[in-house]
Structure 1
Amino acid sequence: MSTTPVDSTTGIWQSRYVWVTVGAVALIFLAAMQSLAVTTVMPVVSADLDGDALYAVAFAGTLATSVIGMVAVGAWCDRGGVLAPLTAAVLLFVIGLVIAGFAASMPVLVVGRLVQGLGTGGQTVALYVVVARVYPAALHGRVFAAFSAAWVVPSLIGPFLAGAVTEFLHWRWVFLGVAGLTVVAFTMVVVRLHGLPLHTDEPATGRILPRLACAFAVAAGALALSLAGGLGPYAWVVVAASALVIGLASRPLLPRGTLRAARGLPSVVLMRGLIAGSLFGAEIYVPYLLIDHYDFSPTWAGLGLTAAAIAWAVAADVQGRFGDRLGNARITVIGTTLLVTSTVVAGLTAAFGLPPAVLIAGWAFAGGGMGLMYPRLTVLTLAYSTPQNQGFNSSALSISDSVGAATAIAAMGLVFTALVGTDAAFPAVFAIATALALLALVPGLRLGHAHEDPATTHTRASI
């Protein structure tokens, strides 16, 4: 981690940091744009490629393979520099986008999404390590605030823009356009990072292959879970086996005590996975519900997610200003309450055919809850970390994120497929999301404090 002293006037846009900041924020922005865009346009893609059976796999598969990328890049970073692993991750991300953009069938598109997941996971971890090694600790919060903004802006314009591109051009440009822009953004980063001392002074020496094997097992389990719906009477056997594999294989990839919600970093990591599973698992069905039940166009269905993005931005700013006064426990209670409220409203809307405005307004509560909780968990993770385990802890947080979301999406997809054609399909999905949000209270009340830098805590979510 960089120990360069900074004064109160130093910022992430200063000449020594500006190009790294611009490039890193651009990469986050484009990854966010693509993720949110796919959520909006996938119902159209699925219909165009006759891929209803693989709808959930197109989401869960990307998250599943991202675990492999996270573990590989995290270990790579802990053993040396960050430039080579970041380059490899970005290359895989672009290749996956190109495959998906030219896909002539849903299976080929899923393959592209799998490759894309390898890059997305690795890119996230590598950028976290870049933050740790390039910027002083007092600036970490400002960088993550910029990262938050890079997520919020796509949340505001991404779904609408993706819907418009799909409606007036073609959904393929949602993938191909981001691929071209990613190359430009990466060039900004790589030119500036090339001459910086990014190697850790005390590289990790642990074995990589066992952790990689576990990552492959987790990814295989998540993929099997997402495909179980097409296996007829054997589906629940595959579900049980997949859940067991995911649980066992993920343990070495996470801090000790994560699955039993041990106090401190393990609970930080576990909570991240639970709230990610609740939000991202349910979120893909919000535009689906608007298009399927209310005949929204892709453009207007995308706008249905915008209220949540605005709420996320506002809540993140509130958390950045008053988070210390609130404390981790209160943020957990308030954040999970907002998330539960949103999933309950979504379920009631689907069950009783309430006006779509109720769904859109209710989903805004989800953004508010995540805006409070998400940035806090990221900074707590770095605060609990040392230069020797920055890569491991960063990858663990992202792994929990992806495994939680992938498992929830796969389970929801299985239930949705089993109930499709009935009035219970959408309500069941949102009921699962509600249960996950409530479960997040357990680790959320055991986060502890990692002596977060005051400047970091105050600024981490200001946008």
Structure 2
Amino acid sequence: MTSEPERDIATGILGPAHRRLSIGIVATVVFIAFESMAVATAMPTAVPELDGMALYAFAFSSFFTTSLFAMVVSGELCDRQGPRLPLILGTASFTVGLLLAGTAQSMLPFLAGRATQGLGGGLVIVALYVVVGRAYPERMRPKIFAAMSAAWVVPSIVGPLVAGLLTDELSWRWVFLGIAPLVLIPVALALPSARAVDGPPPGGPSDRAGRKRFALATALGMGLLQYAGSRADAIAIGVAAVALVALALNVPKLLPPGTMVLRRGLPTVVAMRGILAGAFFGTEAFLPLLLVAERGLSSTLAGLSLTGGALGWASGSWYQGRTKTVAPRYLLVRVGCLLVAAAIAAVGLALIPSVPVVVSVLAWTVGAFGMGMSMASISVLLFQLSSVGDHGANSAAMQVSDALFSATFVGLAGTIFGSGHGGAGDSTGVAGVDTWIYLVILAVMAGLALVGAWAAGRVRVTTA
């Protein structure tokens, strides 16, 4: 008799019909994840060499700003022509961006390379989601989403180490140039299957097309907000006001109607992606700093908390994809939100000297388990509630929600943090912050996660 694992291999995501595509998708995510982790390690060396410290933040924001615009473009291309074209264009753009950044001799070309990478990343990630929606039957989607989450684990562990070695022993440029030719391999594996599901959907494209101008205005608004945050004068106030107006007018046009008021069904599914991302990443951005400044950990040891988070996330995503996991999806999302809220509260225990640091680190791993379980379930729900003609538009909306909430709440945490900086820092520049400021940040993020736990029931179309 054939065992269950053997049946899963024969008929699952690694079965003959899907093996090549599954490997291609997972490998693509691995390279994108590795680049994301590695760039953060190489940036402190690269930017000073390019004489661009004044533009340091833009090395990150330029990527996220252009990727947001590209997500919407990719969604429209997928719904009109299929996922193959944005997959090809995105791979080419990401590769060109790597080459531009790796060969840059000054900061502006480097920023151009990062922006080009962002375009490629945004095009590719939405196209991959559409391929999943079209190529995999519903019963397989939880498993492929689990595999995509697991693809972040190894890069989270080895990415900073490899990038550090390349930067110290060779040059930071190899962090970009070394990966450029490798990106083409996994996409080449996925392209034949993408071609098989290419073309407009049977019911015609989404009726939510023509949103590129709103995406462009939103991206510009985010860029202006980042610019305002880099200044401390009256100009910053004016720029921030313009940016906020642009965001308020255009963001609702990029999301399903009713998203901002948590309308039952698809709008809440899309909103939940952002709520979870905002709460989790708003906390994670300051977790290593808290452990270094308040508990005296080294940067390496503090960074291990993020590695634990990557492992927890992958485990949670694996759990929701198990055949034996029979809990309804809304309940998985709700429990995930509660685990995230509890983990954020437990991070605050690190501020008590008598509490071992490992308590907060382990709690963060459990919170990441909740994130993996919830985020993968949200992706499954998205396709359950979307017609084939809306796969691209709704996948883009989900990614946009993620990016917007993450940027908003990480920025909010930064503003709160800045308000409590006493300026009496030590030689590392991380002390001199009132302890209560960390508690305010954690309270805001935990509150957001609890809002998600309440809203999770609204992902169901009916109350049954």
Residues 346 and 97 of structure 1: CA distance in aligned 2, closer, same or farther (over 3 Å): farther
Q: Which residue of 1 aligns with 2:178?
A: 177
- In the alignment, the residues of structure 2 paired with residue 350 and residue 54 of structure 1 have an alpha-carbon distance, to the nearest angstrom, of 33
CA contact 1:64–1:117 (8 Å) conserved in 2: yes
Residues 379 and 426 of structure 1: CA distance in aligned 2, closer, same or farther (over 3 Å): farther
The farther-off stretch of 354-363 and 168-177 is 354-363
1:445 to 447, 454, 464: 454
**What secondary structure does 2:232 align onto?**
helix
- In the alignment, the residues of structure 2 paired with residue 207 and residue 380 of structure 1 have an alpha-carbon distance, to the nearest angstrom, of 20
The farther-off stretch of 435-444 and 70-79 is 435-444
Q: Which residue of 1 aligns with 2:327?
A: 325
Residues 289 and 46 of structure 1: CA distance in aligned 2, closer, same or farther (over 3 Å): farther
Matches within 5 A, 1:329-348: 329=331, 331-332=333-334, 334-344=335-345, 346=347
Q: Which residue of 1 aligns with 2:433?
A: 424
Matches within 5 A, 1:49-198: 49=50, 51=52, 53-194=54-195, 197-198=198-199
Identical amino acids, percent of aligned pairs: 37
Deviation, 1:157, is: 2.9
Q: Which residue of 1 aligns with 2:428?
A: none
CA contact 2:265–2:461 (8 Å) conserved in 1: no
Q: Which residue of 2 aligns with 1:459?
A: none
Aligned residues: 443
Matches within 5 A, 1:21-420: 21-46=22-47, 48-49=49-50, 51=52, 53-194=54-195, 197-204=198-205, 206=207, 208-209=209-210, 211-234=211-234, 235-286=236-287, 296=298, 302-321=303-322, 324-325=326-327, 328-329=330-331, 331-332=333-334, 334-344=335-345, 346=347, 349=350, 360-361=361-362, 363-413=364-414
**What secondary structure does 1:314 align onto?**
helix
- In the alignment, the residues of structure 2 paired with residue 62 and residue 308 of structure 1 have an alpha-carbon distance, to the nearest angstrom, of 23
The farther-off stretch of 397-406 and 314-323 is 314-323
Give the TM-score normalised by structure 2: 0.82
What one-letter code is carried by the residue in structure 1 that aligns with 2:75? G
Q: Which residue of 2 aligns with 1:435?
A: 444
The one-character-per-residue Cα deviations of 1:91-114 (angstroms, maximum 9, x if unpaired) are: 112222222223344444333222
- In the alignment, the residues of structure 2 paired with residue 269 and residue 69 of structure 1 have an alpha-carbon distance, to the nearest angstrom, of 18
Q: Which residue of 1 aligns with 2:3?
A: none
What one-letter code is carried by the residue in structure 1 that aligns with 2:398? L
Deviation, 1:382, is: 0.9
What one-letter code is carried by the residue in structure 1 that aligns with 2:231? L
The one-character-per-residue Cα deviations of 1:255-303 (angstroms, maximum 9, x if unpaired) are: 1111111122111111211221233344344456677885846x66654
What one-letter code is carried by the residue in structure 1 that aligns with 2:277? A
Residues 329 and 295 of structure 1: CA distance in aligned 2, closer, same or farther (over 3 Å): closer
- In the alignment, the residues of structure 1 paired with residue 42 and residue 360 of structure 2 have an alpha-carbon distance, to the nearest angstrom, of 19
- In the alignment, the residues of structure 2 paired with residue 43 and residue 289 of structure 1 have an alpha-carbon distance, to the nearest angstrom, of 20
Deviation, 1:362, is: 5.1
The farther-off stretch of 354-363 and 94-103 is 354-363
The farther-off stretch of 366-375 and 187-196 is 187-196
- In the alignment, the residues of structure 2 paired with residue 99 and residue 300 of structure 1 have an alpha-carbon distance, to the nearest angstrom, of 33
The one-character-per-residue Cα deviations of 1:200-259 (angstroms, maximum 9, x if unpaired) are: 2222264744x1111011111111111212332333443344233223211111111111
- In the alignment, the residues of structure 2 paired with residue 350 and residue 101 of structure 1 have an alpha-carbon distance, to the nearest angstrom, of 41
The farther-off stretch of 31-40 and 349-358 is 349-358
CA contact 1:279–1:433 (8 Å) conserved in 2: no
CA contact 1:64–1:403 (8 Å) conserved in 2: no
The one-character-per-residue Cα deviations of 1:38-89 (angstroms, maximum 9, x if unpaired) are: 3444444455556555444333332222121111110111112221111111
CA contact 2:204–2:389 (8 Å) conserved in 1: yes
- Unpaired segments of 5 or more residues in structure 2? 1-6, 425-431
The one-character-per-residue Cα deviations of 1:113-151 (angstroms, maximum 9, x if unpaired) are: 222111111111101111122222222222212212212
Structure number with greater CO (CA < 8 Å, separation at least 6) is: 1
CA contact 2:283–2:445 (8 Å) conserved in 1: no
Residues 60 and 263 of structure 1: CA distance in aligned 2, closer, same or farther (over 3 Å): farther
Residues 356 and 169 of structure 1: CA distance in aligned 2, closer, same or farther (over 3 Å): farther
CA contact 1:40–1:159 (8 Å) conserved in 2: yes
The farther-off stretch of 235-244 and 412-421 is 412-421
Deviation, 1:194, is: 3.7
CA contact 1:59–1:409 (8 Å) conserved in 2: no
**What secondary structure does 1:170 align onto?**
coil
